């Protein structure tokens, strides 16, 4: 019997495969209830949670707010400018203050050490809504989406193209190792995940049947993939100046029709979003003016094409975040 009450949700390395799948199953059940109009507001009625965002968000913030509402929970949103965190008050002090008022705390910010410190001193469950190193709630949504679209998780070959040494590449490698999937980082070797994390994942993989592959060859990396996954090349908090080096290094790893054609016929395209696939964003237009590229990590054709499941994936953020809150409070 799995019981996650009182647990933090900081990174998937802290969870067993069974616990991860328990959360995915719970999310599927909560999604089914939502679709049928069955209310779940009694589950945690009368509780309150704090949502700290030191970086911006559309999906994660909305998912926490809607999920909390559906569970009968009140929310308080703290944006990067509206709180004292880090500037006038330490994480440790903030943790103790918020821990005395709220039953749970979500944190999106920079270093993983910050969310770990918050959890150490809060005395209530803390959930990682994205750090530089990890994005664990995104992983649950991705696994649920893969299972819905492909009908299985174990043995799925997932190829990640782009910056594989940041939160998304790291987290996908971890979740693949945990759930017996075949992870490939298909990118320039400068953007492979850190060796210490690779080693940790290789240890996990020994017990789950997962494999980890690192290749600079698009031909080899995308061959027979079930999932082709990418993320933006410059993440939140990184300086604008890195665009040039990212484009130079990662353009060969853009997800385009050729990469998709080399994957399995029934392969899906995934992206955590937001994405620069056209000129409909300010950043997209700025990059176009400087570098002449209208599409970055993925072409518009693939993004909008029949294999793309990005919006189903985005919806699943809410159902899976609801599962994390429901299970840990």
Q: Which active-site residues does the annotation give?
A: 108, 135, 138, 231, 272, 317
Closest approach of ligand CP to the CB of residue 139, in Å: 11
Residue closer to ligand CP (CB basis): 60 or 94: 60
DSSP letters along 83-131, please? S-BTTTB-HHHHHHHHHHH-SEEEEE-S-HHHHHHHHHHHSS-EEES--
Q: Which residues are 74's β-sheet partners? A: 48
Furthest CA-CA distance within the chain: 56
Question: According to the binding rule CB under 6 A, does residue 230 interact with ligand CP?
Answer: no
User: Mask 262-301, x = binds ligand NVA (CB under 6 A)?
Assistant: ----------x-----------------------------
Considering only 150, 251, 273, 279, the residue that binds ligand CP (CB under 6 A) is 273
Residue number with CB closer to ligand CP (52 or 210): 52
- Smallest gap from residue 63 Cβ to ligand CP (A): 8
Interaction mask 50-89, ligand CP, x per CB under 6 A:
-------xxxx-----------------------------
What residues numbered 196-215 form the site for ligand CP, per CB under 6 A? none
Least distance (Å) between residue 28 CB and ligand NVA: 22
- Any residues with CB less than 8 A from the CB of 296 and at least 6 apart, and which? 232, 233, 247, 254, 276, 277, 284, 287
Q: Is 194 left (phi over 0), alpha (psi -120 to 50) or beta?
A: beta
Buried b (16+ CB within 10 A) or exposed e, 228-253: bbbbbbbbbeeeeeebeebbebbeeb
Helix axes 17-36, 167-179, angle to 10 degrees: 100
Radius of gyration of the chain (CA): 19
168 counts as binding ligand NVA under rule CB under 6 A: yes
Q: How far apart are CA 307 and CA 324, in angstroms?
A: 28
167 binds ligand NVA (CB under 6 A): yes
Q: Which is nearer to ligand CP, 56 or 113 (CB)?
A: 56
Q: In this structure, are residues 147 and 153 in contact, taking their beta carbons and an 8 Å threshold?
A: yes
Decide if residue 178 touches ligand CP (CB under 6 A).
no
Supply the minimum distance, in Å, between the C-beta of residue 131 and ligand NVA. Answer: 9
Q: Least separation, in Å, of the C-beta of 134 and ligand CP?
A: 12
48-53/227-230 β-pairing: unpaired
Q: Which is nearer to ligand CP, 60 or 128 (CB)?
A: 60
The residues in 189-248 that bind ligand NVA, with binding defined as CB under 6 A, are 231-232, 235-236
Q: Which is nearer to ligand CP, 198 or 309 (CB)?
A: 309
Using alpha carbons, select from 243, 239, 221 the residue that is nearest to residue 230: 221
Q: Can you tell me the distance from the alpha carbon of 133 to that of 165, in angstroms, rounded to the nearest whole number?
A: 8
Question: Within 134-153, which residues bind ligand CP (CB under 6 A)?
Answer: 138
Least CB distance to ligand NVA at residue 169 (A)? 9
Measured CA to CA, the distance from residue 167 to residue 313 in angstroms comes to 17
What is the sign of the dihedral through the CA atoms of 285, 169, 167 and 242?
A: negative
Sites of contact with ligand NVA (CB under 6 A): 130, 166-168, 231-232, 235-236, 272
Write out the residues near ligand CP by the rule CB under 6 A. 57-60, 130, 138, 272-273
């Amino acid at each position: 019997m799995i019981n996650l009450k009182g647990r933090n949700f900081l990174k998937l390395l802290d969870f067993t495969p069974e616990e991860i799948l328990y959360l995915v199953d719970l999310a599927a059940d909560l999604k089914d209830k939502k679709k049928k109009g069955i209310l779940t507001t009694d589950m945690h009625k009368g509780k309150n949670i704090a949502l700290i965002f030191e970086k911006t968000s559309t999906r994660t913030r909305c998912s926490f707010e809607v999920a909390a509402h559906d569970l009968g929970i009140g929310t308080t949103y703290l944006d990067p400018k509206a709180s004292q965190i880090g500037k006038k008050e330490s994480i440790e002090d903030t943790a103790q203050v918020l821990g005395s008022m709220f039953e749970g705390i979500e944190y999106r910010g920079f270093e993983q050490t910050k969310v770990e410190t918050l959890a150490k001193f809060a005395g209530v469950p803390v959930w990682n809504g994205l750090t530089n190193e990890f994005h664990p709630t995104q992983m649950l949504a991705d696994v649920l989406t893969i299972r819905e679209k492909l009908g299985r998780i174990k043995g799925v070959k997932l190829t990640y193209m782009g910056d594989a040494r940041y939160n998304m590449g790291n987290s996908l490698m971890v979740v693949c190792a945990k759930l017996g999937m075949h992870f490939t980082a298909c990118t320039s070797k400068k953007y492979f995940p850190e060796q210490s994390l690779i080693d940790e994942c290789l240890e996990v993989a020994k017990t789950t049947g997962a494999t980890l592959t690192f290749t600079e060859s698009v031909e080899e990396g995308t061959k027979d993939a079930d999932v082709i996954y990418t993320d933006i090349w410059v993440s939140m908090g990184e300086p604008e100046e890195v665009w040039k080096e990212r484009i130079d290094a990662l353009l060969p790893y853009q997800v385009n029709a050729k990469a998709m054609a080399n994957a399995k016929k029934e392969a899906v395209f995934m992206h955590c979003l937001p994405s620069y696939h056209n000129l409909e964003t300010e950043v997209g237009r700025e990059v176009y003016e400087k570098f002449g590229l209208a599409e970055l990590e993925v072409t518009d054709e693939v993004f909008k094409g029949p294999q793309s499941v990005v919006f189903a994936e985005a919806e699943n953020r809410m159902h899976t975040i609801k599962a994390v809150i429901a299970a840990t409070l």
